[in-house]
Amino acid sequence: MNPAPLVALVGNPNAGKSALFNALTGARQKVGNYPGVTVERHSGRMVLPDGRPVELIDLPGTYSLDPSSPDEQVTRDVLFGKQAGERLPDAIVTVVDASNLDNHLRFTLQLIALGLPIVVALNMVDLAERDGLKLDPERLERELGVPVVPTVAVRRRGLDALKDRIADLARTAGKAQPNPAIQHDMIVLQRRARQIASAVTVSETAARRWTHRLDAIALHPVSGPILLLGLLFIMFQAVFAWSEAPIGWIEAGMAWLGGAVGDALPEGLLRSMLVDGVIGGVGAVIVFLPQILILFAFILVLEATGYMVRAAFLMDRLMAGVGLSGRAFIPLLSSFACAVPGIMATRTISDEKDRLTTILIAPMMTCSARLPVYTIIIGALIPDRAIGPGVGLQGVVLFALYILGIAGAFVAALVLRRTVTKGATSGFMMEMPKYQLPRLRDIGLGLWQRAEIFLKRAGTIILVTTIVLWALLSFPKPPEGSNISPVDYSVAGRIGNALETVVAPIGFNRDMALALIPAMAAREVAVAAIGTVYAIDNPDDAAGEASIRDNLQAHWSLPSALAFLMWFVFAPQCISTIAVTRRETNGWKWPAFMLGYLFAIAYISAGLTYWTAVALGLG
Amino acid sequence: MNMAAAIPVPVRLAQLPRMKPGTVSDVDWTHLSEPEARRLRELGLDEGVEIELLHRAGLFGGPVACRIGRMTVALRRHVAAAIHVSPSVG
C-alpha cells in the first residue's frame, strides 16, 4: 500500500502556521526529531473530505529558501527532498498573514516557483479586517496563479475549503519534482510581492492597531521593564503558590498507594523495593509535575501572546553587555522549567558562537528538577523565621539560589565570549508579531506534550535509577550481628564512602556523596536517594517526607547543607542535558567542556560556602 | 504643494523622531554584516518602503522597534544608523 500523501505546511514565522496545523490535525499529532539535527518534527494525520488520509508536517517558519539557522535549513531541505528521514512532500500549503502580505508573499512567490502543487492559506483575515484592511482573495488567486483560501485558523474558519483544495492537489500527488532554478534575488521578489499586495488590497484605513497601544506600555523605557519584572515575579510566585493544592493531592495519593501496597504485601524484599524504591522514588519526582506544568503554561502563554519577543527586546541591552543577544533570553527563560527544551530552543539563534554560549550557560538556570532538592533541604535546615514583613528567611534563601544561578550564567557568558567562544558581536533582529489572545486548546496541547515527556521520564530513567539505587543500597546485607550499618555495608555505601574522600573537603558527608551519583540521572532523584538511605538504615521509621526532614536535621550540619545547595546551583547533574548538548553541538567536545567548567565552579563555590559558614560559626 | 518642502533632508532611522513615518531613501549595506543585510532584506527593508520609528528600549543604547511596511521589527542601533529615511511631509 502506498503511504498517505505528505503535505507540508510552510510559511513565514508568525503567519499562524502552528495554529492552522493544530486546527487541521487536532490531537492526532506526533512530535519527533529529524535525524542528525535537533529540530522537532511535528506531524499529524488529517482526513480529507473524500475520506483519504493525509500526513501533514509543520515545517519551521522561515523567511526564504536561503536558510540562516538550523531549523530554517530543515525547511529548505525537506522542500527539495534532501532531508534525511523525510520524503519529498506531495503538496505544499503555504500560510500567509493577511495583514502582512507584502512581506509574506515574497516567500510564497519563491515557493510557487518551486513547482510543487501548492495552495495558499490566506490566514488571519479577521485580524486584517480589524486593522482596517480589505482584501480581494479572488484577485490574489489570479495574480499568483494558484488556489487561495481565506482562513482564520484559531476560529476554524475556512478549514473545509482548504481541505477541499488539498484534496484536489493530492490527486496529482507524487508527480512533481522541485525546480532547483528558483529566484533567489530578494529585491526582485520583494518588489513583485509589494506590487501584488497593493493590487489585491481593496481598501486600507489607517486604523491605529491595538498592538501599538499595548507596545506603548510594554516597550516603554520605564513601564516596559517594570511590566517584565512584574510578570516574572507573578510567574515564579505562581509556581509555588498555585502548586500547593495539587502537590498535596499527589502526595496523599502516593502515601495511600504506599500504604496499600505495604499492607497487601508480606514483609520482605519485594515490599521494600516497591515501597522504598519505586513508590518512594518515583513519587518524590511526580510531586513536582504541577510546578513544572505551571512554569511551562506561563512560557507557552508568553510565547502565544507575542509577548516573549517584547521581553527579548527589553533584555537585549543587558544581554549585549555579556556578549549575547536578546534572542538568548527566550531559551534561558525556558531553561527555568528544564534545560533540555531550553537548549533545543537555541536553534533559532543564527550566530554559531552566540548559540554555543547560550547552550553552555543554560544549565545554570534553576530548572524545576532542582526545586525538590532546594525545597526539602531549605525546609529542613533553614530556620522558618520572618526577616521582615511578609518576607521569610526560607523564601529569601530560595530566591538567592535562583539569583546565584543567573549571576553565574552572566559571568560565565562574559568570560566565555572573551575566551573559548570568542567572535564578532552577534546581532539582534527580530520580527515582533501582533499581540494575540492565546487559544486554550493550543496551550493545552503544548502542556499535554510536556506532561507526557515528564511522566515518560519519571516512568523510565527515574524509575530505573531508583530501583538500581535501591538494589545497590540493599545488597549485600551485613552479616547477622554485625554492627556495621546496612547502608555502609552495601555496594552503594562503599561507593559513597570512597566518593566521600573527594567531597569531604567541601563539607559533604557520606549520604550527600551517595545522593550525587543517582542525581546524575536526574537531579530530583537526590531527594529520593537521601530518603532511601535513611529508610534502609532505619527500617522501623515511617517513610515519607517528614522522616527525610527529621533525618536531615539529625545528620546534616547547616554549613554542609548550604554547601550542598551551592553544589546544586552549578553542578551539571543531568544526563539528558549533556545528551542534548552533544546532539546540538555535534560532538563530545562541548558537553565535555560544559561538564568540566560547571563541576569546577560547583566544587569551588560549595567549598567556599562551607568554609565561610564554618568560619562564621554557623555549624 | 511647495516643492522645497516636499524634498526633506534624509536622516538616519536612529535619529528619526518617534511616530513620524518616512520613506527609506538609502541603506548603507556596506556598514552591515552579510547575515544582517540579508535578514534585513528578508524583513522587507528596501528603498522606497514606508518606515516609522516606534520605540527605543531604555537609555543605554538598547535596540529600537520600527515599523517596516506593515511589520514591526526590532533592530540594534548600529543597524538603525545605516538606514537613511526621508521624513514624510505633513
Q: Mean pLDDT throughout A427-447? A: 85
Instruction: Give a yes or no: residue A528 inside a domain.
Output: yes
State how far residue B9 is from chain A, nearest Cα, in angstroms: 25
Question: What is the pLDDT, as a whole number, of residue A371?
Answer: 82
Q: Which burial class, exposed, middle or buried, applies to A532 when counting CB atoms under 10 A from its CB (0-12, 13-18, 19+)?
A: buried
Last residue of a domain, one of A204, A235, A267: A204
Checking if the pLDDT of B1 tops 50, the result is: no
Structural domain that includes position A283: 211-364
Give A-chain residues touching B72 at CB under 8 angstroms. 211, 215, 431-432, 434
Question: Nine-digit cell at A126?
Answer: 479577521
Contact A228, A311 (CB under 8 A): yes
pLDDT at A204 over 60: yes
Question: Which SS3 state, helix, strand or coil, does residue B8 take?
Answer: coil
- What stretch of H or E contains A280? helix A280-286
Give the pLDDT confidence score for residue A569 in this predicted structure: 95
Contact A57, A78 (CB under 8 A): yes
Please spell the DSSP secondary structure of B21-86, one letter per residue.
-EEEEEE-GGGS-HHHHHHHHHTT--TT-EEEEEEE-TTTT--EEEEETTEEEEE-HHHHTTEEEE
User: d(Cα A167, Cα A185) in Å, to the nearest integer?
Assistant: 33
Question: Does the beta-carbon distance from A64 to B76 stay under 8 Å?
Answer: no
By C-alpha distance, the chain A residue nearest B57 is A221
Neighboring chain A residues of B70 at a CB cutoff of 8 Å: 99-103
Spell out the residues 6+ positions from residue B26 whose beta carbon is closer than 8 angstroms to its own: B10, B47, B84
A152 and A240 share one domain = no
* Closest Cα in chain B to A207: B70
Distance from CA of A433 to the nearest CA of B (A): 7
Q: Do residues A39 and A182 both lie within one domain?
A: yes
Question: Is the domain of A292 the same as that of A352?
Answer: yes
Whether residues A149 and A281 fall in one domain: no
Helix, strand, or coil here: A33?
A: strand
Structure confidence by residue, pLDDT tens digits, A466-493: 778 778 877 788 787 777 777 778 888 8
b/e burial code for range B46-69 (CB count within 10 A of at least 16 → b): beebebbbbbbbbeeebbbbbbbb
Length of chain B: 90
Map A403-435 to HEC letters: HHHHHHHHHHHHHHHHCCCCCCCCCCCEEECCC
- The pLDDT of residue A255 is 82
Interface test with B, best of A134, A217, A219, A307 (most B CBs within 10 A): A219
Q: Note whether residue A450 is domain-resident.
A: no
Which among B41, B57, B73 has CB closest to A221? Answer: B57
Contacts of A106 in chain B (CB under 8 A): 44
Instruction: Using alpha carbons, list the distances in angstroms from residue A174 to A19, A52, A81, A169, A325.
Output: 27, 15, 12, 10, 43
- Structural domain ending residue among the three candidates A364, A383, A406: A364
Task: List the alpha helices (DSSP H) in A63-150.
Answer: 70-79, 101-114, 125-130, 137-144
pLDDT tops 60 at residue B90: no
Which chain B residue is nearest to residue A64, measuring alpha carbons? B42
For residue A427, list chain B residues with Cβ-Cβ distance below 8 A.
33, 35-36, 39, 76, 79
Q: Specify if A273 maps to a domain.
A: yes
Does residue A407 form part of some domain?
no
Record: contact B58-A317, CB cut-off 8 A: yes
Q: What is the DSSP letter of A3?
A: P
In chain B, residues with a C-beta closer than 8 Å to the C-beta of A96 are none
CB A189 within 8 A of CB A53: no
Contacts of A99 in chain B (CB under 8 A): 70
Closest CA to B79 of B66, B60, B89: B66
Is the dihedral angle over the CA atoms B42, B45, B49, B52 positive or is it negative? positive
DSSP-derived letter for residue A99 is G
**How far apart are the C-alpha atoms of A19 and A14, rounded to whole Å?**
10
Last residue of a domain, one of A338, A364, A390: A364
CA-based nearest distance B33→chain A, Å: 9
Average pLDDT, whole number, for chain A?
A: 84
Same domain, A561 and A598: yes
- A215 → closest Cβ in B39, B54, B71: B54
Q: CB distance A317–B60 less than 8 Å?
A: yes
Shortest distance between the Cα of A224 and any Cα of chain B, in A, equals 8
Yes or no, beta carbons of B54 and A224 under 8 Å apart: no
Statement to judge: residues A216 and A265 lie in one domain = yes
Q: Which residue has the cell 497593493?
A: A198
Task: Indicate if A174 and A43 belong to the same structural domain.
Answer: yes
> Nearest Cβ partner of A313 from B36, B46, B57?
B57
**Residues A479-538: tens digit of each pLDDT:** 877 777 777 788 888 888 888 889 989 999 888 888 888 787 778 778 777 877 777 777
Q: What is the pLDDT of residue A173?
A: 63
Model confidence at A39, in pLDDT bands (50, 70, 90)?
low
What's the ipTM? 0.89
- Is residue A245 a contact partner of residue A504, using CB atoms and an 8 Å limit? no
- Residue A421 lies inside a defined structural domain of this protein: no
| Grid cell digits, residue A377 | 533541604
The percentage of residues in chain A with a pLDDT greater than 90, rounded to a whole number, is 27
pLDDT of residue A179: 78
Q: Which residues of A touch B31 (CB under 8 A)?
A: none
pLDDT digits (tens, 9 = 90+) for B47-80: 888 899 988 876 677 899 999 888 889 999 889 9
Candidates A186, A211, A225; nearest CB to B42: A186
Report pLDDT digits (tens) over A248-289.
Answer: 888 888 888 888 888 888 877 788 778 767 777 677 667 778
Q: Tell me the CATH number at A183.
A: 3.40.50.300
Q: Are residues A221 and A197 in the same domain?
A: no
> Do A196 and A338 fall into the same domain?
no
Q: What is the pLDDT of residue A583?
A: 80
What does R_g of chain A's alpha carbons equal in angstroms? 28
Please tell me whether residues A473 and A589 are part of one structural domain: yes
The cell for B47 is 528603498
Nearest to A313 among B35, B59, B65 (CB): B65
Answer whether residue A406 is part of any domain. Answer: no
- What is the chain A residue with the closest CA to B47? A187
Coil, helix or strand at residue A456: helix
User: Residue A11: beta bridge partners?
Assistant: A95
A413 inside domain: no
A9 and A17 Cβ atoms separated by less than 8 Å: yes
Phi, psi of A569 (to 5 degrees): -65, -40
pLDDT band with cut points at 50, 70 and 90 for residue A146: very high
Report the helix count and the strand count for chain A, using DSSP H and E.
29, 12
**Which residues on B lie below 8 Å from A220 (Cβ)?**
55
* A233 and A151 together in one domain: no
- Total tally of structural domains belonging to chain A: 3
Cell of A79: 522542500
Residues A197 and A222 in one domain: no
List, in sequence order, the alpha helices (H) in A362-392: 370-381
Compare CB distances from A316 to B41, B44, B63 and report the shortest one's residue.
B63
Residues 6+ apart with CB under 8 A from A326: A312, A313, A314, A315, A316, A319, A320, A428, A430, B63, B74
- Tell me if B73 and A430 make a contact (CB, 8 A cut-off): yes
Interface-testing mutation among A429, A431, A434, A435, with chain B (most B C-beta atoms within 10 A): A429
Indicate yes or no: CB of B46 within 8 angstroms of CB of A187.
yes
- The answer to whether B86 and A248 are in contact (CB under 8 A) is no
Cα A293 to Cα A450: distance, rounded to the nearest angstrom: 8
Query: Is the CB of residue A312 less than 8 Å away from at least one CB of chain B?
Result: yes
Query: B2-33: per-residue pLDDT in tens?
Result: 555 556 688 888 888 888 889 999 899 888 88
* Bigger pLDDT: A424 vs A152: A152
* A117 DSSP assignment: -
Residue A502 lies in a domain: yes
CA–CA gap between residue A380 and residue A385 (Å, rounded):
13
